[in-house]
Amino acid sequence: MTESTPDTDPSPDHTPGPTDRPTALSLVEGRSRRGVVSFVSRSPRLTPQQQKLWDRFAGRWLIEVPRDEAKTSIRPDHGIDLKTEYGRDADLIIEIGPGMGESLAPMAKARPEANVLAFEVYRPAVARILAKLDKQQVGNVRVIQANAVEGLQLLAPEAGVAELWMFFPDPWHKSKHRKRRLLNHDFADLVASRLRPGGVWRLATDWADYAHQMRAVLDDHDAFESLYPGDFAPRWDARPVTKFEQRGIDAGREIFDLAYRRR
């Protein structure tokens, strides 16, 4: 769900070695310059029904941002006042790539005391998220159509995020594509700068190779400590099983949960 949908023709899972370490994402440096991105470029065109959903609900839950060069970029000089956007000051939870919001809506509804901010790159998916938030009457969510790197760097407060959710990021399972995986050491540095001390980063994937890469990166990172040292986390009960996750289960893939605390 995060940032993209999976590629085709999965390669066999294996434990990554030194040669599998992904190429660093180019973070925003005054301009939107990410030579390697973790999502597939898709048409932003909405169906007539999706456009109706957008027109009806965007004013309630969507935060519009000015673009830089790319359609999912954010102009580097732009910032937001989250207290104004939510109408209150509360703990901030960020979800990266909620897809169509199948888990975002119920999880946010279960945390009414928190402000939940979602970054999703695909416009049609955002339209579906807005409809789910309305149907389930979830008032504590705001959605931004933007890539996660720029969203975190430009809009998330430094040391101000209580939790980060990142469930089922695109595995980019072919060896030649692993450099496009979102979670690498540079991205972990960025997340560490945004999570407050004691803040928790929760992750899940249905690709064993990516799961071991996540652990290799985060177990080795000075800013994080695993909540389950030396092992994966048990399945987080608060995360509902989505259709996306169920497809992985039906395909025979194991679900891996991870949880890390900001030191």
Specify the amino acid at residue 56.
R
The residue among 216, 119, 125, 131 whose CA lies nearest residue 167 is 119
DSSP 130-195: HHHHHHTT--SEEEE-S-HHHHHHHHSPTT-EEEEEEESB----SGGGGGG-S-SHHHHHHHHHHE
83 appears as a binding residue in the annotation: no
- Active-site pick, 77, 81, 91, 170: 170
147 appears as a binding residue in the annotation: yes
Contact of 141 with 82, CB cutoff 8 Å: no
User: DSSP secondary-structure letter at 243?
Assistant: H
* 165 bridge partner residues: 95, 202
User: DSSP secondary-structure letter at 76?
Assistant: T
5 appears as a binding residue in the annotation: no
Residue with structure tokens 């985060």? 218
Residue 149 C-alpha from the chain's centroid: 9
Our CA angle for 64, 1, 257, nearest 5°, is 125
187 appears as a binding residue in the annotation: no
The residue among 103, 109, 160 whose CA lies nearest residue 138 is 109
222 appears as a binding residue in the annotation: no
140 appears as a binding residue in the annotation: no
Is residue 170 annotated as a catalytic residue, yes or no?
yes
120 appears as a binding residue in the annotation: yes
69 appears as a binding residue in the annotation: no
Residue 154 CA to residue 41 CA, distance in Å, equals 21
Residue with structure tokens 């992750």? 203
| Residue ranges of the binding site for substrate | 174, 206, 242-245
List residues with catalytic annotation. Answer: 170
| Residue ranges of the binding site for S-adenosyl-L-methionine | 95, 120, 147, 170
| Residue ranges of the binding site | 95, 120, 147, 170, 174, 206, 242-245
